[in-house]
Amino acid sequence: MPEKTYLQAISDGLRQELRHDQRVFVLGEDVGVYGGAFKVTQGFQEEFGPWRVIDMPLSETAIVAGATGAALMGMRPVAEMQFADFVSCAWDHLVTVAAKQHYRAGTPIPIVLRLPSGGGFSGGPFHSQNPESSFAHIPGLKVVCPATPADAKGLLVSAIEDANPVLFFEHKHLYRRIKGEVPDERYSIPFGKARTHRDGDEIVVVTWGAMVYTASDAADVLEQDGVSVEVLDLRTLIPWDREAVLEAARRTSKVLVLHEDTRTGGFGAEIAATIAEEAFEYLDGPVKRIAAPDTPVPFSPPLEQAFIPQVDDVVAGLRHLAAY
Amino acid sequence: MATGTQIEVVMPQMGVSVSEGTITKWLKQPGEAVAQDEALLEISTDKVDTEVPSPGDGIVSEILVGEGQTVEVGTVLAVIAPAGSAVGAPAPVESAPAAPTPEATPPAPLAAAPSGSEPQSPQAPPAVGAPAGNGRTFVSPVVARIASEHGVDPTAVPGTGTGGRVTKKDILAYIESGAQAPAVVPAAAAPAAPVPPAPAAPAPPTAVKPAAPAPASAPLQQGEAQEPMTAMRRGVMEHMRRSLDTSAHVTSAMEVDMSKIVAARERLKKEYQSAYGVNPTYLAFVAHATVETLRDYPWINAEIRGESIVTRPWVNLGIAVALEDGKGLIVPVIRNAQDLNLLGMARGIADLAARARTKKLLPDDVQGGTFTITNPGGFGTFHGTPIISQPQVGILGTYALVKRPWVVQDELGQDVIAIRPLMNVTLTYDHRLVDGAYSGGFLRDLRERLEGWEQTD
């Protein structure tokens, strides 16, 4: 099986879908001639032509509204935001129209928004955010946060096939750093099924996106302490795999929820609350959250490093839970 | 998050009017590591006992105030050094003197406890892995569940978690080691629980006060169940024992014809309910009359402080309130009860009772009482001998209101038997200060007030 970067896996998966289904098309800023801000759609316009790989004006509202209209007419648009941060410009069309259309009128809106998200490269407050929890809160939207190349491709296929608006968060820091085996053939990975990234039985870290790797490195350190830590990658937040989380919580009795998004109202709060409700009698310690502080993402590299949860932070949290 | 500097632990402010607190127990000794927010010591302010969490991570380097001593809010109690720093052998801390200094305001009898706790002086810190507490402070949900499924007493399990807490791992290892035969029936203890075979068997819990009535380590018999004591229960236990050890309790009883009160209550009930939403209970009438009567008997509203008698022109009236499950007792205080009319008294009692049962009382609500009323009559009891709430010297008991044949005089001055609503009241007083004649006078005057009730308020 070929090894591919996270970015290549998304690119190949998307190309495969364009070939597989004539209803699928791509739109976004600079996705055509330029090949996308991160070159995910490089070469697409040559292969599929300017009517299936559409360079859009500098208006996220127009991109999301246009995708919504096309979906209403039976198409399967895949829209790219240059940075996930900018999707807020299209909030109204996404949240008020696309998310509620099926409920109001019975007409599905099968759109995919590809959202390069996350920090770690001094992109500052407009180019580094992880706004997944804002959209996880909106009924009618689905939220996907792949961590591995193989998941990125398989979940993208499910996202395109899904009848609802799907926000597909691609972590920028993983684009070229993470490689993994990705099958060449077309395959899909179902939403709502968590993946055990690393086995363990004393503490479970529930996380997603780039934090899967931070958690895994921290778990390696704890292994040297003699503490066995599981890392559970949620893969999708809406829907999220409650059963897998509760099973792991009941089995290990100690849970650390980790995310790169800021703390207050982050999706980790939903997970921690669910564990408290459903698995209270199985807990042997407080459900701990590690997340970014409630501030904008700083530009300065040392400050950004202090902002984004680091391996050392997770190690400290795990040791606290292990000793509890 | 290494702390580079020493951290001082100070006596916390536990309520607006609380100016001092008494250290009841150090949960950590010099040389022991402590994590931020881990329980470090227990303090007592009048009736509220609480744990004080550590303000930071580190090692207890010095304990400056010994068990049993009472100090002002803000006093430095201990010093926590950053982890890794050398901690010198601590000098033993002096426990409280056997007798309190005369000007000390705290209840005198507190000095009784610390003398007994001297054996646990910090010179001999407990072995690692068996710190004081041994999970008695907190049993996690999963440990509680496993314990009940296997009929294990979690307090018998050696704890390795924070503060000696019993972790899930600890209790599973304990069960697996065969220390406890797996019980088929939940909660049924194994016939003879042997001593846990853990390598470092915990020292007999140092946490248990020498004055504890029964050895805590007696093994459970078949069918017995065990549960940890709440802080409130411990507080009540300690207080009741201490009160009996302190005061010379004597109880006198009086029968009161409540005819006029019953009539007054009938008259006021509707108005109070509709206008103020308050029920004029019999307790409110009795409380009002008691406060009036106390004005003439200041020694019953007094306190023995050292060798002197302290009286005051106000009455802070404690009302004993049982928690709803009947397991737990708290005595919130109506301040300046002498200023209240009947309506104010009824309101005050209703408010305190409601907040006591919903656990919304503040530390200030249970402090500073000068006299207490307890009302077990709701269950039909007609007599009792309550225990005085220290440092007060009297407690009034009110009992069931029952209709009884009663000899009264008719308008011609002839004796006849009438049906009258009778209530017994008792005054339990501290005979060190209050004598029989004085208490008899108080009860007589109280009865006259109730039997001759004329106020319209």
- Tell me the domains of chain B and their CATH numbers: 7-120 (2.40.50.100), 126-229 (no CATH), 247-451 (3.30.559.10)
Higher pLDDT, B455 or B118: B455
CA distance B164 to chain A (A): 9
Confidence label for B200 from pLDDT (cuts 50, 70 and 90): very low
Active site residue B288: no
Task: Tell me if domain A3-181 and domain A195-323 are identical in fold.
Answer: yes
Percent of chain A with pLDDT over 70: 100
Contacts 24+ apart (CB under 8 A), A216-224: A217/A311, A217/A314, A218/A311, A218/A314, A218/A315, A218/A318, A219/A318, A221/A311, A221/A315, A221/A318, A222/A315, A222/A318, A222/A319, A222/A322
pLDDT at residue B217, as a whole number: 63
Q: Do B167 and A320 touch (CB under 8 A)?
A: no
- Substitution target from A253, A278, A312 for chain B, most B beta carbons within 10 A: A253
Q: Whole-angstrom Cα distance, residue B57 to residue B35?
A: 4
Using DSSP, how many helices (H) and how many strands (E) does chain A show? 12, 14
- In B, which residues are within 8 Å of A253 by CB distance? 140, 142, 168
Q: Which residues in chain A have Cβ-Cβ distances shorter than 8 Å to B141?
A: 280-284
Cβ of B167 under 8 Å from any chain A Cβ? Answer: yes
Per-residue pLDDT tens digits for B58-77: 888 888 888 878 888 888 89
The values of phi and psi at residue A200, to 5°, are: 180, 165
Token pair listed for A167: 């926000």
Q: How far apart are CA B205 and CA B216, in angstroms?
A: 8
* Cβ <8 Å between A282 and B142: yes
Q: What is the pLDDT of residues B392-448, one digit of tens each?
A: 999 999 999 999 999 998 888 899 999 999 999 999 999 999 999 999 999 999 999
The pLDDT of residue A44 is above 80: yes
Q: Which residues of A touch B33 (CB under 8 A)?
A: none
pLDDT at B132 over 70: no
Q: What is the pLDDT of residue B383?
A: 92
Q: What is the mean pLDDT of residues B275-299?
A: 93
Instruction: Give the number of other CB atoms < 10 A from CB of residue B128.
Output: 10
- Domains of chain A, by residue range, sit at 3-181, 195-323
User: Per-residue pLDDT tens for A138-196?
Assistant: 999 999 999 999 999 999 999 999 999 999 999 999 999 999 999 999 999 999 999 99
CB contact under 8 A, A320 and B145: no
Which residue in chain A has the smallest CA separation from B164? Answer: A324
CATH architecture designation of domain A195-323:
3-Layer(aba) Sandwich (3.40)
Lowest average pLDDT, out of B181-185, B268-272, B275-279, B306-310, goes to B181-185
Q: What is the pLDDT of residues A193-234, one digit of tens each?
A: 999 999 999 999 999 999 999 999 999 999 999 999 999 999
Q: What is the pLDDT of residue B130?
A: 39
Which member of B249, B351, B383, B431 is catalytic? Answer: B431
pLDDT attached to residue B154: 86
What's the pLDDT band for B195 if we cut at 50, 70, 90?
very low
- Helix residue ranges, H only, B177-294: 231-246, 259-271, 282-294
Q: Sorting pLDDT into bands at 50, 70 and 90, what band is B357?
A: confident
Which ipTM did the prediction report?
A: 0.78
Q: Is the pLDDT reported for residue B87 higher than 70? A: no
- Tell me, yes or no, if B431 is annotated catalytic: yes
Mean pLDDT (chain B) is 78
Task: Note whether B168 contacts A316, CB cutoff 8 Å.
Answer: no
Report d(CA B269, CA B277) in Å as an integer: 10
State chain A's mean pLDDT as an integer. Answer: 97
Question: In the structure encoding, which two tokens stand for residue B428, read together?
Answer: 């339990």
Task: Single out the residue of B428, B421, B362, B429 nearest to residue B397, CA to CA.
Answer: B428
Mean pLDDT for the stretch of residues B164-186: 72
CA gap A110, A142 in Å, rounded:
11
Q: Which pLDDT does position A249 carry in this prediction?
A: 97
Is residue A56's pLDDT more than 70? yes
| Confidence check: pLDDT of B109 > 70 | no
A interface toward B at CB cutoff 8 Å?
202, 253, 280-285, 316, 320, 323-324
| Contact (Cβ atoms closer than 8 angstroms) between residue B367 and residue B47 | yes
Within 8 A of A324 by CB-CB distance, chain B residues are 161-162, 165, 167
The percent of residues above 70 in pLDDT, for chain B, comes to: 76
Question: How does DSSP classify residue B369?
Answer: -
pLDDT band at B46 (very low <50, low <70, confident <90, very high): low
pLDDT of residue B68: 79
State whether A283 and B141 contact (CB < 8 Å): yes
Fold of the domain spanning A3-181: Rossmann fold (3.40.50)
